[in-house]
Structure 1
Amino acid sequence: MKKTILAILPVLLIASAFQLSTTHKNKPAAPIITADVKGRIDATLKRFTDSGKTAGVSALIFEKGKEVYFNAFGYADREANRPMDRNTIVRIFSMTKPVTGVALMTLYEKGAFQLDEPLSKYCPEFTNMQVYKGVDANGNLITEPAKRPITIRDITRHTAGFAGMEIPALAKLVREANYMSPNNSLSEMAKKLASLPLEFHPGDQWAYGPSVDVQAYLVEKLSGKPFDQYVKETILDPLKMTNTHYVVPENDLNRFAALYNRSDAGVLTRVPDAQANAFNTKDWALKPGGFGLTSTLDDYMKFTQMLVNKGMLGNVRILKPETVKLMSTSHLSDTITKRLWLPSKGRVGFGIDFAVRTQPPANKEENNGVVGEFFWDGAASTMFWVDPANELTAVLFTQLVPFDKVKLHKSFRDAVYGEFNSAGIK
């Protein structure tokens, strides 16, 4: 009997170990958003409105396909005593960019272009670009031919080198060209932009600029449709994003949030409506890819849920899983060391219209997040992220300029994931 038990003991141990490992493997991960976490988020967001750091704030979080958090605090319109709520329409500014990227990549899936093709193949305005070298003794620009053409990949990851406001001599030309005037069509915008020297050789640096507006122009060229029409037909309508527009419908203006400016002294003042609403209450010629859309929490959540579900929402497929993976993988090589303010977002790279977290937070001062998450934000301090590891998506809305000087995003992320832990987030 003893020999028999000894003989089968190794088998029993192996079976037991297999059962334990299988049980552990199949055990679902603990949820991120628990009752305690909801309370922590509530307290965090309420603190920002109670202290007057922002007039109103709202947030929506989905985890594993289900809504796990929503709340709103403060005012969409403080002067009218109108509370921030689920149906408030806000200016999402640069959160327009990922929508543009998805529109472009639907054409990529159809074989309309390859990422490393020259942009000039489809937009000849960008042929034979010149690059700024300096100015001579008389103040005249010195330029040289670009070492290589701008590629489509460059305009999806902000490495094209388009002229910005950092170099005075180029800034003067940018102001004179006024390429982003709302009276310009995308075609006129592209011609004026292409007439300016580049700030650096394509692929040499990361610099935020009009790259995504050029993507919108490329969508028009490849699809043969106005950009806003293509976005509506390809993304907004299929996802039932019925509250997302460039121009806020007149009967929805009562839901449109006011925009607030916070001074260095911490005083919150309303940006005059004539200025704040100028772009979104008139049907301008320019339908930019880089900014301009307005949306609601639920609408934008549909977009993020499509992304976390690898290109699909319900029965509607917008992109293939491999395309979402391509977009949410960093395309910045280590040779691109000059990255403007991108490192302020955390230890991230940049994919196709998303920042992509490549390493865990280094310390408690860095924005919290999970490796593999992809995200972006908007000039009025809105933000979203997609966390594939936890199947979690978060959308945060407020209407505050300048961009997040109050560290709302850092506080919100800490409230969701817990404060920095050197062992890492779940």
Structure 2
Amino acid sequence: MTPSKLNKARVADLHAMTNGYVERGDIPGIVTLIACGEEVDVDVIGTMTVDGAKPMRRDTIFRIASITKPVAAAATMILVDDGKLRLEDSVERWLPELANRRVLRRMDSAPDDTAPAKRSITVRDVLNSTFGFGSVMARPGTYWIQELIRDGHLGGDGPPHPSLAPGMDEWMRRLSELPLMYQPGERWLYNTSCDVMGVLVARVSGRSFDAFLRERLFDPLGMKDTGFSVPASKLDRLPGVYVFNHESRKLEEFDTVGDSEYSRPPAFESGAGGLVSTVDDYYAFCRMMLNKGVWGRERVLTEASVEAMTKDQLSPQQREGAELFFGNHSSWGFGMAVSLRREKPWMVPGRFGWDGGFGTSAYSDPANDLIGILMTQRMMDSPEPPAVFTDFWAGAYRTLEEQWH
């Protein structure tokens, strides 16, 4: 028998820690998964709603928010593997709305104080989030462009609202009416690039983003519960999602279970944050990535594509201004963060993955053959990881330490 790689006592400690969040009423329910090699531990605690009526299930379908981003990047790289895209290609052939861009001279420039883009936007710029447009990390109302992003429902100015976004072509038209914030390739900016990836995949493949994902990723990986909406037959597995009201000190419903925004297909299939999934579905994606593109006997991505996605794709200059996201310990590959320095025990160099604003976190660590996935339904209060995230990752790495005898 192969000896266990996970310390059973410390796995129990991890379960007790997450259970504490539920018992205190901080989070209604939690599903965790840690896997080392072939060994997989899943823990399911709490309830799907704050009223406690329905117990949490292993196959609960969570709104996974920004851990959609690595999936969007994988889809884009499949088209690179197919020879339909090259990293240095201009995107203008498929995204003419992004041709002949104007660029703000400064973030606080007037709308007409722009300069022409110095070059075209490339596929690489979209993949590594440096195409020149993204979330503005400033208080609402700081810059005029924030209001136009919000009014145009272009995303990145708050939690996803799938019911408000326009269709794909209209979304691109609205994006094209705004100047870029930085020159193509100049600066990493969060979020919007991954939505552009979804549009690029749809237009290059000639089918909807959802249809492409299903054919090339979800079906091969057996991700039967992953998509941009939850069908009526599965709605009993969709939990409530909650935001913490700091005045009342209570969790308040953000998206109703009875008539959820995720109960019907959205007009815009968001590569930045639109997917729903289960812990086992997302594990299949993570395992494929950790296996360098292979799932079972099938190759889903080339090893070269996985390597490109999971290595640092930014220069220090491109990371300027993104310290809130990266600190001094991480950077960005294609659609996901990559750890560079071990500032905390779990920040192992080469570890890759991301967090989702609806309370999800998923990272893979090649050095330890470790995958960790945390699924909750409490929204993050700030870009800083909530305590449950840091406690989960600290506990997950403690399970790898030398066995107690």
Q: In structure 1, the residue corresponding to 2:316 is in which secondary structure?
A: coil
Alpha carbons of structure 1 residues 298 and 266: separation in structure 2 relative to 1, 3 Å: farther
Matched, 1:311 2:293: yes
Structure 2 counterpart of 1:70, one-letter code:
V
Of the structure 1 ranges 189-198 and 395-404, higher mean CA displacement relative to structure 2 is found in 395-404
Aligned residue pairs: how many?
385
1:148 corresponds to which of 96, 115, 119: 119
Q: Distance in 2 between matches of 1:238 and 1:405?
A: 32
| 1:41 aligned partner | 14
| 1:327 aligned partner | 309
| 1:57 aligned partner | 30
Q: Given that residues 186 and 213 in structure 1 are in contact (C-alpha distance below 8 angstroms), is that contact kept between their aligned partners in structure 2? A: no
Give how far 1:198 is off.
Answer: 0.9
Instruction: Give the alignment's TM-score, normalised by structure 2.
Output: 0.88
Alpha carbons of structure 1 residues 354 and 32: separation in structure 2 relative to 1, 3 Å: farther
1:84 corresponds to which of 51, 56, 72: 56
Q: Given that residues 238 and 257 in structure 2 are in contact (C-alpha distance below 8 angstroms), is that contact kept between their aligned partners in structure 1? A: no
Structure 2 counterpart of 1:150, one-letter code:
I
Structure 2 counterpart of 1:339, one-letter code:
A
Give how far 1:133 is off.
Answer: 2.4
- The two structures, once aligned, show a CA RMSD in angstroms of 2.5
Q: Given that residues 64 and 356 in structure 2 are in contact (C-alpha distance below 8 angstroms), is that contact kept between their aligned partners in structure 1? A: yes
Give how far 1:273 is off.
Answer: 4.1
Which residues of structure 2 form unaligned runs of 5+? 156-162
Give how far 1:209 is off.
Answer: 2.6
Q: Distance in 1 between matches of 2:254 and 2:338?
A: 35
| 2:391 aligned partner | 411
| 1:354 aligned partner | 336
Q: Distance in 1 between matches of 2:187 and 2:87?
A: 18
Q: Distance in 2 between matches of 1:171 and 1:127?
A: 22
Give how far 1:255 is off.
Answer: 1.1
> Residues 278-293 of structure 1: matches in 2 within 5 Å?
278-293=260-275
Q: Distance in 2 between matches of 1:34 and 1:109?
A: 39
Q: Distance in 2 between matches of 1:348 and 1:277?
A: 39
| 2:147 aligned partner | 172
Give how far 1:86 is off.
Answer: 0.5
| 2:159 aligned partner | none
Q: Given that residues 28 and 52 in structure 2 are in contact (C-alpha distance below 8 angstroms), is that contact kept between their aligned partners in structure 1? A: no
Alpha carbons of structure 1 residues 343 and 257: separation in structure 2 relative to 1, 3 Å: same
Give how far 1:218 is off.
Answer: 0.6
Give how far 1:277 is off.
Answer: 5.6
CA deviation string 1:299-341 (max 9, x = no partner): 1111111111111111122111121111100100122222252
| 1:98 aligned partner | 70
Matched, 1:338 2:318: no
Structure 2 counterpart of 1:238, one-letter code:
P
Structure with the largest fraction of helix: 1
Q: In structure 1, the residue corresponding to 2:243 is in which secondary structure?
A: strand
| 1:21 aligned partner | none
CA deviation string 1:369-410 (max 9, x = no partner): 211110111111101011111111111100112347641111
Q: Distance in 2 between matches of 1:306 and 1:276?
A: 34
Q: Distance in 2 between matches of 1:135 and 1:272?
A: 31
Which residues of structure 1 form unaligned runs of 5+? 1-27, 422-426
| 1:66 aligned partner | 39
Instruction: Give the alignment's TM-score, normalised by structure 1.
Output: 0.84
| 2:129 aligned partner | 158
Give how far 1:182 is off.
Answer: 4.2
Q: Given that residues 163 and 174 in structure 1 are in contact (C-alpha distance below 8 angstroms), is that contact kept between their aligned partners in structure 2? A: no
Structure 2 counterpart of 1:306, one-letter code:
M
Q: Given that residues 380 and 386 in structure 2 are in contact (C-alpha distance below 8 angstroms), is that contact kept between their aligned partners in structure 1? A: no
Q: Distance in 1 between matches of 2:202 and 2:354?
A: 24
| 1:300 aligned partner | 282
Identical counterparts, % of pairs: 30
Give how far 1:247 is off.
Answer: 1.5
Alpha carbons of structure 1 residues 227 and 115: separation in structure 2 relative to 1, 3 Å: same
| Bigger RCO (CA 8 Å, 6+ sep) | 2
